[in-house]
Amino acid sequence: MRTKHISTVLILTAAISLVVLSGCSSAPGADLQVSGPADGADLSSANDLLNNLLPGEDQAADPASDAAQIGDDETDPGTGSDSAFLIQTRQVPDDFDWQALPVMPELSENVLAIYQHGIALGREPTNFSVIGDCQAIPFVFMGPIGRNEVLPPSHEQTLWETISQFEDSFLHESTSVRGGFTAASILNPMQADPQLCKPGETPLACEFRLHDPAFIFITLETWADPETIERYETYLRGILEYVIQQGTVPILITKADVAEVRESIHIINPAIAKIAYEYDVPLVNFWRAAQSLPNRGIDPEREGFHLSEEGFDLKNLLALQALALVTQKIETDLGIEQETNAATGVGAQPAVTPESDLQVPEVTILANPECAGGCIFFGLAESTDGDVELQGVFAYDHAQQALVQILPAGFDLQDIHPDGNRLLVNHNKFLFALDLEVSSSELISDNLYWLGEQSAYWAGSGSESTVIQIDVDTPYQGDTGRAIGLFPASRGQTVYFESGSCDSKNFCTIEGVYQQLPDQAPALLDNPLRTVFSPDGNWYASLDPDAATVENGGNLRYFLLQDPNTGSSSRRIVYLPTGSGFRVFPGVRAYAFSPNSDQLFIFYDYYSSYFEKSIRFETYLLELGSAMTLHEYGDMIGNYGTFKPKLVWSPDGQKVLFFLTDNPSGEEYSLSVYKTIIGTEDRLIPYSLNIYSSQNYFYITNIGWQKP
């Protein structure tokens, strides 16, 4: 392992002059002129640079007099967790010169106010996170310090103490960092890691829930279209305001490359510096320091965007120094040492009524649809930063191509009776049987476990049908834990369930799938992913969790089929085509058995782990039986695979409808229906576009198509 102390990093001598002697009257606190370095200047040690950047014991950082000013109409920020933090801003001077800003931030009292607010909310004072793109992943940013590859000189005690205080964060992989991320990505739930983040949770909200940082570095170096820098500023402001409201001290960093320069004019760096000044938060002017590095800190062998080794080293050291300055000010001015906060939670959470205190809700049937071709019933959930709210139960009339809402927000669909007139629905723990023919409802249970995907279904048909459900007090129990979900399959009294735990609605960890026969102990079938049983219970399809790795992005190009009664001896492995493209990993995203259990329709997603979204998808029809014939059934460009696509067969087995969500404008999510007719060339035909839309991320929970 390479170990590099700061004293061995080569820095141009001119960098010292740049940091210590330069400035401009237009920049707050700066009072000297800048002289640009020459590429051929002599090399010197970064140790001198460090000593000039960090104030000595008798040179405590003193913020400029106007660094903490706020407008006359602003109010001092509050620090209590029971009220919103009032974000202060200040007017950016007309002659603002970002290039002349000092390399190290000048800290104001605003840092203290944000920090105190965060401590009241439960931020973890020994954690920092990172928001950024490929140049901010821990392999190159802060990670080299955590891996002891780049270290400060032995006499810089403050920096060593800072490393010790934040030792668990240097190698932390923030969910708000990924190659290809832009300022817009951070606030986009489509870009969140589906393995770690809740449905609808943004990468930023996910990072706060998982790591709870008191400090966060923001180093976003790319923007798809420099001509629309106003949008970059809008998203960056949104990020900054979210971070500040959470009581986390942001540290922004300018970029060294000039990839966004247009006609010798920088685009991104002025926006970063201006916003940091406006919100009065720390800014590391990395660009200014990098001007004294060979090739100004950019790798000459690459495309002009990525940093050189010297550039990465300097960026890491400057970030470490800035973190040390901020924590020093907090300790000095507030007398607070960085110790683990006993408080927990991400922000002030709304009070939640205990389940035992919930009252039976009134069931109001909003409409009674009459679907000539049978209704497609489904539940709908919306999510804001992972906070899932059920939006009610809907019916899609296939013949009329119309969407009707049956039950209001708060209700979810569990199952549809074979007669097509009765539904199992729930409102939290209350399970109801709904009879649409006579517009009535009956309370079935007030103790339903409802956080999994499906917790109740009808077994059997006609008057002999019974309700199978997960009861909180007496759930089905396997060796790996309690039941959290059920799989409807018509095989006598056999019950199939999955065990595990759920942190919140539809955010669950699956530990195993079981077969429960009457009067027998449950038998563990496997520990598969995305399990679906055929209606007759003779097959189940699943993914192999052991094959989902970091290298393939958790996306698998094959799935397993087997009989639950005969186990692995009946197992078939079904492979789909390999994909192509940079970090494109195709994966089986969804499948659905035909009503007769003799066919399986497959949704195959070409997923880019670089952009963390779908590129296109293909569909296939698998004929079940001894031959296992696979047929291509059309493909389509779009980001549909990211939104939990749903497939549903018509009761006669002649059609498949696709309910697909997309976010083409980046502002509104839209649900559309596409149709494939089995045995014809009519495949993925747009059928009903934009039947539901929302500014919030949403997805279908359970869905089914029953006979009229």
Residue 680 in contact with residue 674, Cβ under 8 Å?
no
Query: How sure is the predictor about 236, in pLDDT bands with cuts at 50, 70 and 90?
Result: very high
Q: Which secondary structure element, helix H or strand E, spans residue 205, and what is its range? A: helix 203-211
Q: What is the DSSP letter of 307?
A: B
Only one residue has tokens 């300022």, namely: 183
In 331-408, the DSSP E strands lie at 375-384, 387-397, 402-407
For the residues of 158-189, what is the DSSP string, one character each?
A: HHHHHHHHTTTTTT---TTB-TT--TTGGG-G
Token pair listed for 650: 């018509």
CA 208, 210, 213 angle in degrees (round to 5)?
Answer: 45
The pair phi, psi for residue 326, each rounded to 5°, is: -65, -45
Instruction: Let me know: does 541 contact 560? Beta carbons within 8 Å.
Output: yes
For residues 458 and 439, give the distance between their C-alpha atoms in angstroms, rounded to a whole number. Answer: 19
**Considering the chain, what percentage of its residues have pLDDT values greater than 90?**
56
99-108, 212-221, 364-373, 530-539: least confident range: 364-373
Q: What superfamily in CATH does domain 101-334 come from?
A: SGNH hydrolase (3.40.50.1110)
Rounded Cα gap, residues 27 and 285, in angstroms: 12
Task: Give the list of residues 6+ apart from residue 213 with CB closer than 8 angstroms, or none.
Answer: 123, 124, 127, 128, 129, 169, 207, 248
- Which of 42-46, 175-179, 497-501 has the weakest average pLDDT? 42-46
Structure tokens at 301: 């062998």
Which of these, 544, 547, 542, 537, lies nearest to 515 by C-alpha position? 537
Cβ atoms of residues 330 and 53 within 8 Å: no
CA atoms within a 13 Å half-sphere pointing along the CA-CB vector of 460: 9
Rounded distance, CA 544 to CA 414, Å? 26
The C-alpha atoms of residue 473 and residue 591 are separated, in whole angstroms, by 33
Residues in a beta bridge with 704? 377
Phi, psi angle pair for 209, to nearest 5°: -65, -40
Does the pTM surpass 0.85? The reply is: no
Cβ–Cβ under 8 Å, residues 649 and 601: yes
Instruction: Check residues 198 and 642 and name the one with the higher pLDDT.
Output: 198
Summarize pLDDT for 11-44 with one digit per residue, the tens: 333 333 333 323 323 333 332 222 233 333 332 3
Beta-bridge partners for 528: none
pLDDT value of residue 61 = 37
* Residue 424, both tokens: 């199992």
Rounded mean pLDDT, 525-549: 87
Q: Which residues contact 349 (CB under 8 A, 6 or more apart)?
A: none
* Strand pairing report for 697-705 and 124-132: unpaired
Going by pLDDT thresholds of 50, 70 and 90, the confidence category of residue 231 is: confident
Q: How far apart are alpha carbons 415 and 17 in whole angstroms?
A: 72
> Tokens standing for 563?
């009989």
Secondary structure class of 130 (helix, strand, coil): strand
Residue-level pLDDT at 224? 54
Q: State pLDDT tens for residues 58-96.
A: 333 333 333 333 333 333 333 333 457 889 899 999 999
Amino acid identity at 469: Q
List own/partner pairs for 643-647 with CB under 8 A and 24 or more apart.
643/190, 643/669, 643/697, 643/699, 644/199, 644/590, 644/699, 644/700, 645/589, 645/590, 645/603, 645/605, 645/617, 646/378, 646/590, 646/700, 646/703, 647/590, 647/591, 647/592, 647/601, 647/603
pLDDT tens-digit series, residues 390-416: 999 999 998 899 999 999 999 999 999
The mean pLDDT value for 532-558 works out to 85
Q: Kindly state the greatest CA–CA separation across the chain.
A: 91
Nearby residues of 522 by Cβ (< 8 Å), 6 or more positions away = 476, 477, 478, 479, 497, 514, 515, 516
Q: Which amino acid is at 104?
A: M
